[in-house]
Chain A
């Protein structure tokens, strides 16, 4: 837009295809069109900027509210001591009693551990399931079957999470109790299985894309060297698609980390670290469930209120890291795809 259009520019389009207006507008030539184009651009810019702004403001808001949880005291020395004590309590203690009248405790270790337990539990189930389904879809199933299976798998993502939670409480919980004799069926195992089912569609569709992106030439080259289909899949296709597959797994993990309703209903909500650590039949409470459960009761501005924002910040940082990782891996996948 650096150089204003002059006579030649104006006459050329008019001559060609019935354009009676110049392509580049100045207020003098066509005030209405000029204003219209500026308004249009302005509105579109605002719409595009609003989501970016929203993310930024959420970050600022949560950080500010969480920050107040760590600040107390008059002098700088006092504040530093308080901050250190708080940080030690938050990351070093499992005692979560924020509403206790005389001696509240804010140890978040059990809550963080709870989120990790259900997330990794679900990954353990969802990754083999999702990856094998993706391989079937991309390389093994005939075209017609694939057209049926893929939408059905993706339908899993459309079920509302509260419906999964209801299933967890009414079906999975009694089943775990009666079949395996576990005292309480609302536990890590239950939540992990349900979360895995919820993460499978994400993992399947992203890793299937990655497997397809590997391309026919690579597969044909492998067959030409005498490899069987199994060898081609295991030695060539899956390694070639590993960036996309890892990204798929991380996306699935993010689904599990951020999920609230299901873990609230299925994980039992006991703020503890299972003992011994591999005992998946014990109840845990996740960070998301804690926020959902306790946000309503806290007085605005109380210590408990700020402690919940601290949990939110921990979650946010965690998902932010996972998200960045996925972006990096997915862009690498596209880069490779473009090169081949």
Chain B
């Protein structure tokens, strides 16, 4: 029995050694890597930046994951990504976790975005106040006829709580009050679009870039969400979009080029083409 145990140990050690050598060989590639993770709202911008970069620097491999702002912050803190895309500022806890890991997160504002409150195109309601939207999400208004629509029960959609869009609505619309328990949660902007465009009595919210003819954006407090109303600060549910890095990136590095790409003409065109608002408005 003792001899047997010794052989098992030896076998294990051998296997570990082989695995280590294999892993080392796989890691020795030549490409420069950059991993981007975070918000589903900022995701399309990062994707388009990635495409532009691939044309210019063919030896660069950029991966973009879109799983939510909270995931991005977590991955940045854990060292699993180089750039975290976020549609909200870092929370105190996240910042603190980063400081404990020994670095200061730096925010790069890449664009501005308005959260559009959307309904099904067949819905006759054209405008709501922030107050009315809040009351609906709290579950106190349950029928569209109470806000000037037809007699049908409101179906509420919200993004999941790891979403930066959710944070924005939670802060700017809900005033940090809890949503009703009947609210249905969906996992991404495209999901939200899909649900609202197929449900007649739905109300939901997406980033400005996701509004098209299949859903209808509402006037909020009398203001239509558009690039002009957002930049001028008239539209109430607007926010900056961020890319976060561990400290300020080294000048001339790939990370630096990526997070300052929005300042270039091409970057600004991409942001406008994706339906967001570039930060420099001449």
Contact = CB atoms under 8 A, between A and B. Distances in A.
Interface string B181-192: 111111100000
A276 interface: no
Which of B97, B153, B160 has the most chain A CB atoms closer than 10 A to its own CB? B160
B181 A38 contact: no
Contact of B11 (A43, A169, A285, A299): A43
Given A99-B161, A297-B74, A299-B93, A270 B8 contact: no
A173 B201 CA distance: 13
B8 A186 contact: no
B270 to A, nearest CB: 27
B93 A186 contact: no
Interface stretch (A2-10, A73-81, A177-185): A177-185
Interface string A97-114: 111111000000010000
Interface string A35-51: 10011011101100000
Which of B12, B97, B187 has the most chain A CB atoms closer than 10 A to its own CB? B187
Q: Give the bracket for the number of chain B residues in contact with chain A.
A: 35 or more
Interface stretch (B63-71, B211-219, B224-232, B274-282): B63-71
A270 B152 contact: no
Contacts of B195: 169, 186
A270 B178 contact: no
A270 B12 CA distance: 48
A259 interface: no
B249 to A, nearest CB: 24
Nearest to A181: B152
Interface residues of A, number: 44
Chain A contact residues: over half helix, strand or loop, or mixed?
loop
B184 A184 contact: yes
Given A39-B7, A183-B152, A272-B182, A299 B94 contact: yes
A42 B97 contact: no
B138 interface: no
Contacts of A268: 184
A105 to B, nearest CB: 8
Contact of B182 (A45, A270, A293): A270
B201 A110 contact: no
Given A270-B184, A272-B181, A41 B4 contact: yes
15 contacts: A43-B11, A97-B178, A101-B176, A110-B181, A169-B194, A185-B199, A186-B195, A268-B184, A271-B181, A293-B162, A293-B185, A296-B74, A297-B68, A297-B160, A299-B97
